[in-house]
Each structure stands twice: as C-alpha cells, then as structure tokens.
C-alpha cells in the first residue's frame, strides 16, 4: 500500500451497491441478523418495506429468498460466509441452484482476514463449495468500489450468484469509473517474467509483491480475477502463454478455489507452465490479527514474491531441459 492510500473494507461496498439498485422496486434484501456487519442495513434503513431480518436462520433465509424470486422479486440474501455456506447448503443446492432461482447470495467475513474471530468463522472453503454447484456464479471483488459495481452487475443478470466479501480494510484500487463484468479478469500491472492471478484481499497483497519484485528487476503481471466462475479463460491462457510462469493467490484453501480453477483452464488448454498456489494449506488456522495470520500461514506479499521467484526458476529449468 502506498503512503496515504485510502482503504476500506470490501464489505463496505455492498451496502452502497444495494442503494445503487434500490430504484428497482423488485429488489428485496434479506439478512440473518447480521445486517450491520454485512452492511445490508443501509438498504434496510432507506427501504424498510423491502428489507427482511430473518434472525439466526440462514436456511430459512435462503428458502424465503428463493420463494420471493419465484414471485418475480430480486432477492439479495446476506450473512457471514461461514454461516451462509455451511448452514444453508441444502437450500442453496435445491432451492437456488437446482431450481435456477434468481437469488443473489452474499457471504461476508470470509478467509483468514476475519482474524480474531477464529477458525470456525474464517470461512476458507466457500469458493470451492459454491464453484462446484451447477448454475452458480462466483464473484470475489478486490475492493469496496468493485463490490459496489459487482452488485450492479449481479442485478443485471438472472440466476444464482454468490459474492464473497471480507472484513478487514484493504487498499482502494478502483474508482467510480470502473465497469464490472461477470466472467472478466482485470490486468492491473503488466510484466513478462511471471503472472500473479489473485482475488479478493490478495489482489492488494499481489500488487505489493510485484512492487517489491520490480526492485529486483523482476516484472510480474498482476491480474484481479474477481470472477471465479465463470473465469476469464482467454485471459488466463493468454497470460500463461506470455509469461510461461503463474502464481495464484487467494485467502482460501488451495483445494478447489481460484488456484484450482486456473489449473483446470491451463490443463484443458495444454498450457503446461510452472504454477504455484498461494493460499491456506489443508489445515485450520487460529485466532490472530489478519496480517499476522497472513505471515504465519503463507499468504503475505513476501510469500507471493517468493513463489514468483520459484516459478521463474522452474521456467528456467524447463527451458534448459
């Protein structure tokens, strides 16, 4: 982060995004008693007649949202990611995905960035779970402004969608001119030596890593892959063919998330380049400050930079072979 650079929690953009689409009277918002934390309260204060506090009952919330969708409403249902994904998975599977209802699900406080709330609240499997569900789109914005624009983009498309948000403040990357497109990745920095493909809070960490690497003469492309499903396949392949070395970075388990999605694209298109995945290994973390957890569990910008050096070394070894 540059000195003086503004920060905001990614979740802060959700409430503002809901207000952007509030003029559509079919938009309704539901929350599982966490509306202040998810920021959906902003909509509730301005449009109480279209805001429903469902209590600590995520399964009921999702079922109600699906029912409202069948009546022509456009529901957004939010809670902490850990509660939404784990407590309402059957309803998400059947009433949203299988039934193809126009329900937008929003999980806040995801990843190790949730910090002191501990491992039961640090949802690190939601991307892989939601990505595996047929008909579900998965979005992970990189900052608060992109979250605002993502809410607008979700409103314009029919069908099941899941958006993941985090609590801790992160650098603001985009301004109001940003146009969010579902299925598109965004190049934030160009470089020919390697590519870093990241999502969520790890985008700003990746930009820090690229800045440090440039001081050593290593130029890395940084991509914000805020659309995990559908993923920007063309951009992944094009970047891999250009740099011949890829690192993925996510505040999520390395099993089934962004890194796995990128690997699938590369393998299916025979783009066999060295790749390393930065993320949570097959383990639970512990309580602590987000920056401390990132360092301990290998998610900091220093770890990303080291991974870039490793894939460049592997690329050089392959070239010699």
**Catalytic residue from among 23, 49, 58, 190:** 58
CB 4 within 8 Å of CB 172: no
Phi–psi pair at 255, nearest 5 degrees: -95, 110
210: left (phi over 0), alpha (psi -120 to 50) or beta: alpha
Asked if 249 and 197 count as a contact pair (C-beta separation under 8 A), the reply is: yes
Strand partners, 222: 189, 196
Q: What is the rounded distance in angstroms from the CA atom of residue 144 to the CA atom of residue 141?
A: 8
Residue 140 and residue 182 in contact, taking contact as beta carbons nearer than 8 Å: no
The residues, ordered by sequence, that sit 6+ positions from 98 with a Cβ below 8 Å of its Cβ are 134, 135
* CB-based burial label for 252 (10 Å; 0-12, 13-18, 19+): buried
DSSP state of 123: B
Cα 241 versus chain centre, distance: 25
Among residues 291, 264, 290, 294, the alpha carbon closest in space to that of 280 is found at 294
Could you give phi then psi for residue 15, rounded to 5 degrees? -60, -40
**211 assigned to active site:** no
Residues forming the active site: 58
């Amino acid at each position: 982060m540059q000195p003086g650079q503004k920060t905001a929690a990614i979740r802060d953009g959700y409430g503002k995004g809901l207000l952007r689409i509030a003029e559509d009277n079919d938009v309704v918002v539901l929350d599982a008693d966490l509306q202040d934390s998810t920021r959906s309260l902003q909509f509730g204060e301005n449009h109480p007649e279209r805001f429903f506090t469902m209590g600590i009952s995520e399964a009921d919330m999702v079922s109600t949202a699906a029912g409202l969708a069948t009546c022509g409403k456009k529901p957004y249902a939010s809670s902490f990611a850990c509660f939404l994904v784990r407590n309402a998975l059957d309803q998400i599977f059947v009433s949203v995905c299988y039934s193809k209802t126009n329900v937008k699900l929003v999980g806040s406080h995801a990843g190790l960035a949730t910090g002191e709330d501990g491992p039961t609240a640090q949802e690190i499997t939601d991307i892989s779970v939601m990505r595996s569900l047929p008909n579900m789109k998965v979005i992970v914005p990189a900052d608060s402004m992109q979250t605002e624009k993502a809410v607008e983009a979700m409103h314009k498309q029919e069908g099941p969608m899941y958006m993941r948000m985090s609590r801790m403040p992160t650098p603001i990357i985009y301004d109001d001119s940003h146009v969010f497109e579902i299925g598109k990745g965004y190049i934030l920095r160009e470089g020919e030596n390697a590519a870093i493909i990241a999502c969520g809070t790890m985008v700003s960490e990746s930009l820090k890593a690229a800045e440090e690497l440039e001081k050593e003469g290593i130029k890395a492309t940084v991509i914000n892959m805020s659309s995990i499903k559908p993923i920007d396949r063309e951009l992944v392949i094009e970047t891999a063919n250009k740099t011949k070395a890829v690192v993925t970075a996510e505040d999520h388990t390395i099993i089934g998330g962004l890194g796995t999605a990128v690997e699938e694209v590369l393998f299916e298109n025979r783009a066999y380049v060295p790749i390393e995945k930065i993320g949570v290994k097959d383990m639970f973390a512990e309580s602590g400050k987000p920056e401390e957890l990132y360092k301990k569990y290998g998610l900091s910008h220093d770890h990303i930079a080291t991974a870039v050096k490793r894939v460049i070394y592997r690329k050089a070894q392959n070239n010699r072979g």
